[in-house]
Structure 1
Amino acid sequence: MSGERLAFRQYKKLQVNRARQLSQMRVRLTELGDDRGLRELDTMMTEFGATGPQAPEDPVGETLAELVREMKDALADLGASRTILGDVWAVALKRDAFSARMTRFTDNSGLVAVSDATLSLCGVYAQALGLAGRRGPEPQVLTGVLRYYYVQQRVFGLAGKLEIRLEPEAAETAVLFQYLAAQFVLAHELAHYVLGHTSAVSAFAPDEYVPVCSESHQLETEADLHALRAVRRTCERLFDELPPEGGEAALGAVGAAIGMLAVHATEQGLFVRRGASHPPARKRAAALLREMRPNERKLAQETLDLALTATEAASTIGAGAVPFTPAMYGSAPIHTPLGPSYLKTTEVCDAIQCRPREWYVELFDQVGRELNEPWLADGAHLAAEGEPALALRTWGLPKGSIGALCDPEQPLTFNALYMKLRAAFTSRGLREDHLLAYGIAAATLVSEPLSE
């Protein structure tokens, strides 16, 4: 029985209380005075309820269950055993510090976990591509939206995003792209399972405790290509009135490109140290393009040209990077219920992360004198000299935390580092209004030696 399988037991334990999540969303939208957002949320839930779902307050879970059914059918069409596919489950988690992973249990059952944040980021790309379909390529729009997303993740630990409000036809295209991208993310993990990959490494789970220089590129390429074939097969089913070479079926290639880049963006944006060494995005993109049919390749190449350019620009941190500013998206129909002051805070937070190393040392030299806190400058000089452990100790972090932060085999998110520094600065008596800027500056300065 499925209930006896270890993966199924874990699946039941990990399921998110979506009713509570929806309640929290309504409270937050009410606090922000976002009446339109409330109406849209309630309309969405009403329409969802009318479809007769098994879980009326869990559209994420219902969508994931539908995706799992479709991908299992596609993988079975490609030769996977239905019996084997019956022993793998998938769950969506309200966690931001990972993207997706497949876990194989001792009884050989499998569990795929996908983060809500990854599905959300697929939507960010899909909306930008929907806009590009109406207005033409505008890489700076996607760059700006991605940089905003990165700041929310890196500093505040939130999957906060700006919404691109599209006309109905473009919005439908974006929803389809997001769905296909989610299919690819899920199919990649299921592919690891059906292909018999036993490595604990997953290209989509950069927070795993595994060696940073893990040898897993070939397995990841195999999973990528098998996932592409599975998404292609679901498109052929979806557009079954068209021949296999029909243009609509090639949309699966676009979904694959978005799904791959959404995970790559998570790795680049969140992590100081990632849990595995994965093929670069352009190398993975090239492998996917080689696998595609000519009509798929043309459509996917157009997507990748836009999305890769924006992703690389948005994920660059440090001297020479272009920080977030609302001017990036110009006249694009961007919406957020948060006020101008919040956007300004985001802009300042990103600007702090885009300075040369000397700037941080000079900053802490100055504030150390002004606040009569020389330890701030002392720590900055140690970090700049490539002594992260001594810098963290000087800044007041406890010994246990320093060991974990400096362990080269443990993945490390920027947010985790920032929060540790913020707590240490608080314990040393820094005022609340200093914590944000100085915490980001310290985390950015010490990130380089920690990442090596």
Structure 2
Amino acid sequence: MSGGSLAFRQYELLKEDRASQLAQMRERMTELGDDRGLRQLDAMMTEFGALGPQSPDDPVGEMLTALTRETKDILADLGASRTAMDDLWVMAIDLDAFSARMRRFTDGSGLVTVSDATFGLCGLYAEVLALTGQRGIEPQVLSGLLRFYNTQQRVFGLRGKLGIRLEPVALGNAHLLLYLASQFVLAHELAHYLLGHPSSVSAFAPEEYLPVCSESHQLEAEADLHALRVVRRAFEGGEAAFGAVGAVIGMLAVHVTEQALFVRRGASHPPARQRAAALIQEMTPEERAFAKEAFDLTLAATEAACETGAGSVPFTAGMFGSAPIHTPLSPSHLQTAEVFDALQCLSRESYLTTLDQASREFGEPWLADGARLAAEGDSAGALRTWGVPKGKIGALCDPKEPLTFNALHSKLQDAFTQCGIPKSHVPVYAIAAAMLVGEFLKGDGLGDQRNSH
């Protein structure tokens, strides 16, 4: 590979400080009193260090390097030019508002970036499917795990994932499915590069603007098919159908990011159901049976976990039943997640009532005034009345700019704090305001455009 290409320069600029991240992780676990987790982390890092890695603080990067090498070898076996991949770089970065993307530079080099969160979500699905093999079908467990994750992201902007204790055989299956799902996502992006697709086309980067058109959907289908061929080849010596399940997991991981974390997405991608159906048609009967079963088990739970507003079922720890879920978090933290998710499952009238009551309680009529403007569809007027700075409102309301719920919620929290709302009440009122105004921000442009196709 060339070390002077534009892609390589960007690769060097974006490199994460994994040693610092590891130190922060240990500090956070110490604060939580997670002695068991610390022991597991130290044991894992000791075992990892004994392998003689080039980057002793970066097991994710080492895994991705090996995965990239294997994936490129498979693509070459399938007919891709090795020369074309010589200046194609791959890296993982600590950003949560996308899954993976490919960027093509003017000198012909390419850079694929994969979010750390993508591996986390793929791991969550892999663990739940492995748990299903261990205990039987419990779809509410997946819904609970995903709703907790989504609430952490939407409200706090944090990557919070609860763990599952698995028996050795199930744990091995989970690791295998994680690997294949990660390979599917990576192979999809590499395929975009090799097929000459533009940088803006990627069903794993929902924060990028991509107009709705059948051509973009066709490009995604082409990349999906190439990625399926890779995971199929990667495991052809064993149960080849595991590769098909890995493809399903990769699709659902991006589906969660796109559907749950964004108020307004910058791209319109084929729905997970449509993408999976197209791939299933390309599978062997054995693969098809495995993939369809995994998809049927997980899709309904995934869609339920992504729903907000009236009629949605919020997260409760009771969803886990007797499933072996483990977490260092205190019961009060889980209860907070329950409260905040429940606040996202109310009707428009409930949010109006909440802000009207707050307006009277604190003697702040602007809270209710903004709520009424939001309910009437005047998003900019509502945000202005609530104290969001003028310079921020344009981006929040721009139909061509993607918008995460966390970005909207954070701006409202800052505004309410500046306006003197008691700190203990700010998150609740900010959620109510974000849910109320977000309904119209979603449909101010791209949402309506999507629904017309």
* TM-score bucket of the superposed structures, by smaller chain: over 0.9
Deviations 1:252-272 (A, max 9, x none): 001010011101111111100
1:327 aligns with 2:291: no
Shift of 1:108: 1.1
Q: Aligned partner of 1:253: which letter?
A: A
Structure 1 contact 203–278 (Cα < 8 Å) conserved: yes
- 1:416 is the counterpart of 2:407: yes
* CA deviation map 1:44-92 (0-9, x unaligned): 0111111111111110110000110111011111111000011211010
Could you say which residue in structure 1 is the equivalent of 2:418? 427
Code of the aligned partner of 2:70:
E
- SS of corresponding position for 1:3: coil
Alignment of 1:323-402 (within 5 A): 323-402=314-393
SS of match in other structure, 1:291: coil
Q: Which runs of 4+ in 1 moved over 2 A?
A: 209-215
CA distance in 2, matches of 1:93, 1:170: 28
SS at structure 1 position matched to 2:417: helix
1:191 corresponds in structure 2 to 191
Structure-2 separation of matches of 1:254 and 1:70: 19
- TM-score relative to the length of structure 2: 0.96
Aligned to 1:243: none
Is contact 1:253-1:296 (8 Å) kept?
yes
Match of 2:21 in 1: 21
- Cα drift, residue 209 of structure 1: 4.2
Partner of 1:282: 273
Asked if the contact 1:210–1:409 (Cα under 8 Å) also holds between the matched residues in 2, the reply is no
Counterpart amino acid of residue 19 in structure 2: A
Partners in 2 of 1:295 and 1:213 — Cα distance?
33
Conserved 8 A contact 2:210-2:268: no
1:154 aligned onto 2:145 = no
Tell whether the 8 Å contact from 1:210 to 1:410 is kept in structure 2 after alignment.
no
C-alpha separation in 2, matches of 1:116 and 1:422: 26
Deviations 1:408-432 (A, max 9, x none): 0000000000000001111111110
The equivalences for 1:30-429 within 5 A come to: 30-211=30-211, 216-236=216-236, 239=237, 248-429=239-420
DSSP-derived class of the 2:205 partner: coil
**C-alpha separation in 1, matches of 2:148 and 2:38:** 23
User: Residue 318 of structure 1 aligns to which amino acid in structure 2?
Assistant: G
Deviation at 1:211, TM superposition (A): 4.4
Structure 2 CA distance for aligned equivalents of residues 187 and 14 of structure 1: 21
**Larger mean Cα displacement after TM superposition, 363-372 or 101-110:** 363-372
Instruction: Extract unaligned runs of 5+ from structure 1.
Output: 240-245
Aligned to 1:6: 6
Give the partner amino acid of 2:175: V
**Amino acid in structure 1 at the alignment position of 2:156:** F
How much does 1:235 deviate?
1.2
Query: Which blocks of at least 5 consecutive residues in structure 2 are unaligned?
Result: 444-453
What displacement does 1:213 show? 7.0
Q: Say if 1:215 and 1:277, in contact at 8 Å, map to a contact too.
A: no
User: What is the distance in 2 between the residues matched to 1:7 and 1:199?
Assistant: 13
Question: What is the TM-score normalised by the length of structure 1?
Answer: 0.96
Q: What residue identity is the alignment partner of 1:145?
A: L
Could you tell me whether the CA contact under 8 Å between 1:147 and 1:315 is conserved in 2? yes
Query: What is the CA distance between 1:201 and its match in structure 2?
Result: 2.4
Q: CA separation of 1:176/1:155 partners in 2, compared to 1, >3 Å: closer, same or farther?
A: same
Quick check: 1:67–1:183 contact (8 Å CA) kept in 2? yes
DSSP-derived class of the 2:113 partner: strand
Change (3 A) 1:95 1:214: farther
Listed one character per residue, the Cα deviations across residues 140-165 of structure 1 (whole Å, up to 9, x for unaligned) are 00000000000011111111111011
Q: Secondary structure at the match of 2:103?
A: strand
Q: How many residues align?
A: 443
Displacement after TM superposition at 1:214 (Å): 8.8
Equivalent position amino acid for 1:225 in 2: L
Q: Are the equivalent residues in 2 in contact too, given 1:212–1:409 (CA < 8 A)?
A: no
The residue aligned with 1:242 is none
**Alpha-carbon distance, 1:215 to partner:** 5.4
Alignment partners' CA distance in 2, 1:370 and 1:142: 39
Q: 1:262 to 1:66 in 2, by over 3 A?
A: same
Question: What secondary structure, in the 3-state scheme, does the structure 2 residue paired with 1:111 have?
Answer: strand
CA contact (8 A) 1:212 1:274 kept: no
> RMSD between aligned alpha carbons?
1.2
Distance 1:215 1:366, change over 3 A: farther
Residue identity matched to 1:314:
A
For 1:125 and 1:159, the matched residues in 2 are separated by 15
Contact 1:71 1:187 in 2 (8 A): yes
Determine helix, strand or coil for the equivalent of 2:349.
helix
SS in 2 for 1:113: strand
- Aligned in 2, Cα 1:211/1:257: closer, same or farther, shift over 3 Å? same
CA distance in 1, matches of 2:97, 2:301: 22
Measured in 2, the distance between the counterparts of 1:380 and 1:403 equals 19
| Matched-pair contact (CA < 8 Å) for 1:94–1:116 | yes
